[in-house]
Amino acid sequence: MKVIFIVPAADIRRNAIYRFGDKIYGHSNSISGPLILGRILKDAGYDVEVYEELYKDLNFNKFENGDLIMLYTMTSSSTRAYHIADYFRNVKHKRVVIGGIHASSLPEEALQHADQVVVGEGERVIVDVASGKIKDKIVYSKCIENLDEIPFPDYSLLKTPCRAANVMTSRGCPFSCSFCTTSRMFHPYRKRTPDNVIEELRMYKNQGFKYVNFEDDNFTADKDRAKEILRKMISNNLVFRETFFFGRTDMANDEELLQLLHDAHLNRVLIGIESLNQKSLDNINKKQKISDIEKCGTALVKHKIRLIASLVLGLDDDSKEDMERGEKFCERINAYQFQPAILTPFPNTPVYEQYKKEGRLLDNDWQYYDMMVVNFKPKKMSPYDLQSEFFRVAKLFYTFKSSFNILKIFGFVAWIRRIGLWIAVKFGEALFRKKSNIKDGNIYNKIKEVSI
C-alpha cells in the first residue's frame, strides 16, 4: 500500500520571489513529523513518499498510485491542506488523513475534509490508522514519554529539496507564554538523552548533510543537558558548517554554554526578544527582564553567534514607539537578522480565547495566520496601523548602511545574505500586496476597511 505525505504551503509562499527570499533567509528544511511517521510506516511494510510544497510545486496527477494521502497542517497552511484534501477525496476518491498542529487544535473543522483526523503526536497510532484497525473519525494520540524510543526521521522518503536536517532534541518547552502554540501541542516537556541525539547527528553526517537545525522550541532550556550534547558533538567530530537553534535570553548567563555553542558551530540562534516594554513581557508570561535581553545581545556578538531577533508586534501594552524602540535595540546590538512577528492568536492558545471572548478577532482566512498579517484588533492602534508598522520596522532594520556592520562582525557570506534580505524587505511589501489578492482587492485592503 502506498502512503503519500504532503506538507502544504499557503498560497503566498508558493511563488518564485518568496522562494528566493526564503533561500537567502536560511537553508531549506523539512517538517520532521511526516518523516518520522513515514519511517514508522515504512518499517511496517508500507511504501511511503513525503512531499513539501514550500520548496517545489507539486503535480498532484503524479500521485495517482497513492492509496492513502496524509496531510500535515499548521494554521496558515490549513486552507491549502483542506483544498488538497478535497481534491483527493472528491475528484480522485482517495482516503485522506489529516494531522499536525492545526488539525490537533480544531479536529472537527479538519474532519470536514478528511476521512480521519489525528490529534496530537501521531507515533503511537499511525500504523493502526493506516491499516484501518483504528476506525474512529477523530483519533486522540497520546504522546510517547520516552523520546529515545522514537525512530529518527527518514530523509530518503523526502522527494522535494532539503539542505538542512532538522533535529528535535526535546519536545515542548517548560515555559508557557500566552501566545505560544507549540508548548501546548507538545506537552509535557520531554528530553532525549544526549547519546540518542548524537546517534542521529552521526546519521546526518554520514548522509552528507552540511547543515543542521536544532528545531527544539527552546534548546537551552536545560543548560546542563545542552552542554553535554555540545561537548559530545565536539568530541565525536559531529560539528556541522552551521547549526541553527531556538534559544532564550537566559542562555547568556552561562559563559561556558556560550563558548560550547560557538565551538560546536551552533552559530545562528532565534531568540524571542518579544518587546522592550517590561509590562508587555510580564503580561505574556515571558519571564524575561529587559536586562536579560541587553546582556544576551552583547554576549552573542562576543561569541560570534548570529542572532535572529524576534519581536512580537501588537501586544496590548505596546505602542508604535515601543515597537520602534524594539527595532532600534535590535539594530544597536547588531542582530544579524530581525524577525518582526505580528501577534497571532493561534487557536488553542490563551490569546485566542481572550480575543474571541472580547470580540477582537478579524474575520480572516486561516492562511493569514502566519505572523505577517494582522488578524485581530489591537488595543493601541488600528489593525491597519499595526500592519503598516510590520513593514515599517522591517525596512528600518534592513538598510544598506547597517549591512556593513554585519560584514565587519560576521564576514563576507553573512554580508551577502544581509544584502539579499535588504532587497527582499525593500520589495516585500509590494510582493505581499500583489500576491495576497482576495475577492475584493487584497488582504491589506480588507484590514484597512475594518480599521475605518
Give the binding site for ligand SF4 (CB under 6 A). Answer: 173, 175-177, 180, 182-183, 217-218, 248, 272
Name which of 247 and 301 has its Cβ closer to ligand B12.
247
Question: Peptide bond preceding 194: is omega within 30 degrees of 0, i.e. cis?
Answer: no
Name which of 103 and 299 has its Cβ closer to ligand B12.
103
Name which of 7 and 406 has its Cβ closer to ligand B12.
7
Separation of alpha carbons 142 and 159, rounded Å: 29
Least distance (Å) between residue 104 CB and ligand B12? 7
If contact means CB under 5 to 8 A according to the sort of partner, which of ligand B12, ligand SF4, none does residue 30 touch?
ligand B12
Separation of alpha carbons 378 and 360, rounded Å: 8
Angle at 204 between CA 169 and CA 63, to 5 degrees: 95
User: Does 170 participate in binding ligand B12 (rule CB under 6 A)?
Assistant: no
Separation of alpha carbons 210 and 201, rounded Å: 11
- Rg of the chain taking only CA atoms, in angstroms: 22
* HEC readout, 199-245: HHHHHHHHHCCCEEEECCCCCCCCHHHHHHHHHHHHHCCCCCCEEEE
C-alpha cell at 17: 520571489
If contact means CB under 5 to 8 A according to the sort of partner, which of ligand SF4, ligand B12, none does residue 34 touch?
ligand B12
If contact means CB under 5 to 8 A according to the sort of partner, which of ligand B12, ligand SF4, none does residue 101 touch?
ligand B12
Least distance (Å) between residue 128 CB and ligand B12? 11
Name which of 301 and 347 has its Cβ closer to ligand B12.
347
Least distance (Å) between residue 293 CB and ligand B12? 19
User: Does 308 participate in binding ligand B12 (rule CB under 6 A)?
Assistant: no
- Site size with ligand B12, rule: CB under 6 A: 43
Helix axes 290-302, 320-332, angle to 10 degrees: 30
Helix axes 223-235, 194-207, angle to 10 degrees: 40
Identify which range of 73-81, 310-318, 377-385, 398-406 contacts ligand B12 by CB under 6 A. 73-81
If contact means CB under 5 to 8 A according to the sort of partner, which of ligand B12, ligand SF4, none does residue 13 touch?
ligand B12
Nearest Cα to Cα of residue 157 among 10, 59, 37: 37
If contact means CB under 5 to 8 A according to the sort of partner, which of ligand B12, ligand SF4, none does residue 318 touch?
none
- Phi, psi for 424 (deg, rounded to 5): -60, -40
Kindly list the residues in this chain that would bind ligand B12 in the complex (CB under 6 A).
Answer: 7, 9-10, 13, 29-34, 36-37, 52, 54, 70-72, 74-77, 97-102, 118, 121-123, 126, 166, 168, 181-182, 186, 215, 217, 346, 370-372
